[in-house]
A and B are shown apart, each in its own frame.
Chain A
Amino acid sequence: MASQRIGETGLSESGPSTHHVPYGVLHGINTPPSGLMNQGSAFDFGELEEAIVLHGIKIRNDEAKASALFTGRPSATLEMFPSWPMRFHQTSRGGSKSGGESTDSGSGVNTRSSKTELQFETESPISIKASSSDHHQAFDQQQQQQETATDASRKGTSQNQSAAKLSQEKKKGAGSTSEKQLDAKALRRLAQNREAARKSRLRKKAYVQQLESSRLKLTHLEQDLQRARSQGLFMGCGGAGGNISSGAAMFDMEYARWLEDDQRHMAELRTGLQAPLSDGELRVVVDGYLSHYDEVFRLKGVAAKSDVFHLINGMWTSPAERCFLWIGGFKPSELITMLIQQLDLLAEQQIMGIYGLRQSSVQAEEALTQGLEQLQHSLVDTIAGGSIGGDGVQQMMAAMGKLANLEGFVGQADNLRQQTLHQLCRLLTVRQAARCFLVIGEYYSRLRALSSLWASRPRETLISDDNSCQTTTELQMVHPSQNHFSTF
């Protein structure tokens, strides 16, 4: 049954299958020998099946003829399954001359084809069913011939030459399979089968390559996702639905990287303070941290152009931070209030300066909040206008224009945040500024960790057996978050 199926797969695909095959691998183009080995070892079921099915028929005599019709490649690659017999028929090939060579090639290929193990195993019954000592010997011969063929192609001899060589060797070695009956029909059928099998093999190679690249992509995505999870970012996203715009997704990735940079900067500040670095050197570190924040505001500016809602609804940040969200970010006056509590050893002038900064910030925040409120009122009126008897198209267009103002407000809010941080730096000495940034960094780190912890807190009533994977990921999140509680 299975063998028939495979056979059909191998045999039924002739002409139309060519367009599935990548360009360079089509008729007669020399791929490097190692490529050959890989390609053959991975998926040559069609060839194998053909070889098994046709073994009763004597094909050796007509090898040369058939090869002359096609390129030498098909016959060379016919025996492209060194690992196949190796894996399952190892014990039976003790005395064969080509066994040594085949072993080398087979084992080499085996390691490379380890990932396709499962498939090999499922197909093994076929080979076992069809196996006989004849087959083993034939495979050995095929491998040897393939080695020769690849050597030949390496040296760049013409394909016909290698085909001729092959056919000679096959004639020599195929003593045990001695059925000499072949008519033209069988010959043609065999040739077609061979061709179809070859195409099938090439298609499978392309598929494997596709799988490989997808696998690579998947690994990268998983890494990014894991990184983001460890930052407690995607906590709320499970329920929020998968519809995230590309601008938003891009920003989320960049923000995740920014958070990693943040950890690095904080470590620098910490060691800089403990070291202790000179004021000049510390100034460089502090300025570096300021630039780091400038960078996130720049990123947000870009993201606001493509998806301002994403910034405003705070889905890019952790749930705990989202709690305190103000126009797409932290509220500067709240940050200053927190800092006033945490920073000590401030001169009176500095205290005055910071209180003044807080007051200016409050006034600016008030102004922006009221401006945004007016925008919201205006939007409500616009969207709701003409609700009775209207289709709302006009209102939609007007509302679109007003929504565009959102970007401006997020921009001004970020501008306020950026100016506040810069002014803080100006008010403080360089060591105070370093400590100040450490406090800020640690604070948001803890907020993010809090988000993770909160999400992974034991809730037996909510977590059912069905959600076992959810439990695992939440537990996963607890561990990385420990880093956030580093001593400051």
Chain B
Amino acid sequence: MAAVQWRSRGRNYEAELQRCRPEVALVEFGDYHPLKPIMVTDTKTRHGARKGSTSSSSSSSSSVPPDPLSSMLDGTDPLSMFAAASASETPAISRSASAGDLGRKRKEKEEEAVGADFEPWSSKRGEILARFTTTEKLSINLFMGSDRGKAPSPGSSAVSEKVRTRLEELDDLEEGSQRELLNLSQQDYANRIEELNQSLKEAWASDQKVKALKIVIQCSKLLSDTSVIQFYPSKFVLITDILDTFGQLVYDRIWSMCSDPRPLPDSFTVDDVNDTAKETCLNWFFKIASIRELLPRLYVEAAILKCNRFLNKSGIQETLPRLTAMIKGIGDPLVAAYTRAYLCRVGVEVAPHLKDSLNQNFFDLLGTFRQIGGESVRKQLALQRVEAPEYLTLYSPAISWILQCIAYRAPEPLLTEMMERCKKLGNNALLLNSVMRAFRPEFVADRATDFIGMIKDCDEAGFPKHLLFGSLGRSLACADPPESERLTILNEAWKVITKVRSPRDYVNCAEIWVEFTCRHFTKREVNTILADIIKHMTPDRAFEDAYSQLQSVIRKILTYFHDFSVLFSMERFLPFLDMFQKDSVRVEVCRSIMEIFIKHQLDLTRDPVILNAMLHICKTMHDSVNALTLEDERRSLALLIIGFIRMVSFGRDFEQQLSFCVEARATFCNLEPVLVQLIHTVNQLAMETRRVMRGSHSRKTAAFVRACAAYSFITIPSLSSIFSRLSLYLLSGQVALANQCLSQADAFLKAAVSILPEVPRSISVEGKLRSSESFLLDFTNNFLAMLLVVPDHPEHGVLYLVRGLLNMVQDYTWEDNSDAKVRVYVSALPLLAAMGQETYVYSVPKVDSNETLYGGDPKFLSEINKLCETLIGQILDHLKVLGRDEGTRRQGALAFSLFGVLLAHGDLRNNKLSQLAVNLWNLSHKHGHCEPRVSVRTLEFVKHQAQQPDMSHLSDTVQRLTLQSRT
């Protein structure tokens, strides 16, 4: 095929732009706006035909069109409809379904009756289980059947213990069987108890009420066993769960006996209960009244306390004081205290209005307090080798619970009276602690000074004072003491805290008080406290065991100090951070600081204190990155650091900013996203300089922007992602050009071209391998558009960069069977055509493009045309190849796009070109792969063009373009 002669069409961009611009139509205000709510004023007539199809057309007054999402759903959304349905269904579910679940549901309802602000037992439960643990071996001893269980016969000792346990496991909980489970770990113990809970439910379900009662009695008997005393509170929790289950089962059963014909209302009275139910209920009480041992009798009766409602109105009211008094018969003070706690729990649940017995319980508890130091307790502790302080803390859940029940919505005078009573008792530390924990924080805060006095006076009796201050601190963290006393309080408290020897106790206490300090004082006090903590925690690397507390200190400080200049001006803050020496913890702390910084630092900053500290923190985060760091982790760390870099601004001091970027680059070299951000920052800096200088640089600023370019130029190669390198080269090249740094721009673009061959064929995008072709095409198109304004380098030949790019494209190993290379050629044609124009479509201010350099030199033009011809030749060759193989579809598409280019940029007055265009048109339609709508529109466009002045030659061409009908 003879070479095609290329002639670019001359363009007048101004005129074309004018023509393309739509006529300016004045929009009257209030007439139409796309964002204005649709207003339909006259729809009545139309309305009949389209029967209310959409809500906007059916309304006759102005209305905001409803959100299409919500209008679909017709009022309620399906989820809330389900919820509503299930809520209304609940009462319908038959009671027999699963008593446990129902019981729980009902229990929740009752707890609501107490009020949402009452911390329910369920939340204490987990806390106690987690806190009171043991590694000692436990045992469960169950005698089912007669109370006088057979004494272990002497012969049985011959059998090894293990075998015995196994043999006994074979026995069921049958009448008369005895089970003794020894050597249980804590977890085993909990599992056993849970098993018992299950067998209780099973027994109940299979109508073995007596067996059920026996299980409950045996379980409550376990509570009188105080061996492995450290575990007692947890044991209490586990076993009272069983009691709760039992109470609920009995209650539900009697309740269901009355539910014929219709269920009892929640507020039923004795008269609603039928005789059979009453008799059953009475039977239970008689049975329980004859339980031989005190503790099971107390617990089980308390468990079914609620059933008194079936018998008489005043039953609960009479039973509570009686049970309260009966507890006096329990000799072991710890067992007694927990029994009281259980009674209070049940009491509050069943009859929250009966406060008297709660108070009585507490007073009785006070009455027996001297027992704690008594002979038998001391003996027991010596036997189990438990220290007095540890023993005393075993009481705190029970006492705290009792006090919480009392203090709940209690009038002020009552609380004062309670306090007085405690005081009278010689200021017992254990009591004081519970009082502070249970009473309202406001109440405690108002009397903080009194409390401190009491804490000081109280005889420690083995109960450590730091715990007392901890409790006080917790109250003060929630409520504010009178302003005048605050400093004294802090001083007094800290005086004691700082004397605590054990680092663990110290940090537990100090952590609590940090909140109070942050709330009411300035950085000076906080700094002092930080210094003190450092002093205590540094020896022997004590901080290693206290990371969670130290972290919480940081968290508390960050909640109250959002001004980072204040925060970092605390001398001790950074040394405090240095205590986090475990990498993971340190990074977590830094991260939380950064998060707060990004959230609360609203203004750009150049404060050296902040910058130094933040750089330090960011560096810590950055340095934690290693080969094993997860991608997500890297990303989030990078985001945080980027967040910081964006907040840094030195205002007009551009050089400083640049040197900051240099420093940052050195510091964060392992996180690519940060480097990318730095390059952007520097580019932005250059553009900012240009804006300040209004486009014309002085000598100094010109040097500065060149420095910026140099920065980018040496930073980009260190990135590993090829596409970020490419786009940054391009971008930096643009910036350099805009700042009249021609040689720098040239270098950027040359670098971009030179790395093009490195682009891999496939890249991973979000974890999936994808062909890189489309990215590469995008980039080259972008690059070509840029090349229009880049002036040729004087030492290199004409169109040096364009040629370079095209050469690279030619040499690049494209995917087999891909038109990508030819596509690049097709898109290079418009560039070349544009370069041949007298005035370019766009230019960079103060930079001379080739238009001025060559001034339309015919040699230059013929160079361009020659290049075009080569390209077209290549394209046509490729088209031919495609025709041979089965690539007709691709051939058609490619031919059509070349036709488009010819039409837009070629001078079709030239016969050869116009013949080529017609041929291409025919080729693209040859196999019928063309979209007819596109063809029709193209034809219309050509016809329209032909009517323009100077374009009349097109009408000939149009004649020769035929539309091919599908048929």
- Whether A associates with B in a native complex is no
